[in-house]
Amino acid sequence: MNLRPVAAVISLSLFYLGMSLNLPIVMAQQTLGSIERVTPAMDQLVVKDAKIEVLASGFTWTEGPVWVGNSDGYLLFSDIPRNTIFKWQTDGTISLFMSPSGYTGVTYYGLEPGSNGLLLDPRGRLVMCEHGDRRLSVLTEKGGKRTLVDNYQGKRLNSPNDAVLKSNGDIYFTDPPYGLPSRADDASRELDFCGVFRLSPSGNLTLLTKEINRPNGIAFSPDEKTLYVAQSDPAQANWTSYAVKEDGTLEAGKEINNVTDRVAKEPGLPDGLAVDNQGRLWASGPGGIYVMEADGKLLGRLVTGMPTSNCCFGPDGYLYMTVDSNLCRIKTLVSGEAQHGR
């Protein structure tokens, strides 16, 4: 979700006038923000002298980080307004990975045309939530894209936002209207709701719930028995947990934390999230990343002081964060390499 419309307008205006897509600035050990330790448990998760490092800056609105490979691999992340995916390597270099990333049309398509959430399928291929083309797609081994799903019962999806892979190959994803040129009021919108869906490996699409007004980030507990969904509605900014049934559908949702009262006081909304190997949530929200127990109890925050969209764990002991126009990371004492299974 883009919270910086003015900057996005400027960036897109230059892009569509034919200006070159400049690479961002790679930073040298710059830091930002602070660590808020609400309970002593936070000391077991983030070392006391940890800093939020800025790895690179100069983007428009960063989102959807995913780690590819082992500790010598690399990080991919979206810049939604630029319709681009960037690649960060462990030597600190930034390069263009894919452009266009989420919209392949020939006319201007709003403020957020690019890819949003990124993940890897069971074969290690990149799966993209594409705003402009309103689909989930996969990057094939030969370099071409293939559509996984772009409609529900014949009606086009709104703008797939974020997704998570279940160990059986099912992809669970959210579909708010943020990628449509006029968002919820867009004339091209075909669904009259924002859903949470499940896409099976065979291509069957199931609507799991439409009770969340603005579903956004999504993640599983390590045992896959609980699904977490963030809601980025300023009037109901919260996180909901759902017990997952044996057939993969969901029980009734339960709100685990609500930060609506913080929305007017700190920048940002509940957006993307990650779950560590002990089942704790690391979730973007007003002011930064909220670290919570599975029941929503707040342990602490990584306070960035600016809109923060998403995060993911790398295999190198860092939590990588997309923070406004920046790519950041912080050293943690936990891992995100959860072992799935019932």
Give 24's pLDDT tier (boundaries 50, 70, 90): confident
Is there a contact between 310 and 322 (Cβ–Cβ < 8 Å)? yes
pLDDT confidence of residue 17 = 32
Question: Could you read off the pLDDT of 129-157 as tens digits, one per residue?
Answer: 999 999 999 999 999 999 999 999 999 99
Give 29's pLDDT tier (boundaries 50, 70, 90): low
Helix, strand or coil, per DSSP, at residue 329: strand
What is the spatial distance between Cα 36 and Cα 287, in angstroms, rounded to a whole number?
A: 11
* Domains of the chain with bracketed CATH: 5-18+30-331 (2.120.10.30)
Question: Could you read off the pLDDT of 153-175 as tens digits, one per residue?
Answer: 999 999 999 999 999 999 999 99
Q: DSSP assignment of 45-98, as one string?
A: TS-TT--EEEEEE--SSEEEEEEESSTTSEEEEEETTTTEEEEEETTS-EEEEE
Q: What is the mean pLDDT of the chain?
A: 92
- pLDDT over 80 (residue 342): no
Give 8's pLDDT tier (boundaries 50, 70, 90): very low
Query: Sign of torsion, CA 323 189 174 115?
Result: negative
Q: Which of 284, 332, 335 is nearest to 310 (CA)?
A: 284
pLDDT: which is higher, 22 or 314: 314
User: The whole model's pTM is what?
Assistant: 0.93
Query: Sign of torsion, CA 256 315 85 88?
Result: positive
- pLDDT over 50 (residue 6): no
CA 139 to chain centre: 18
- pLDDT over 70 (residue 21): no
Q: Which amino acid is at 58?
A: G
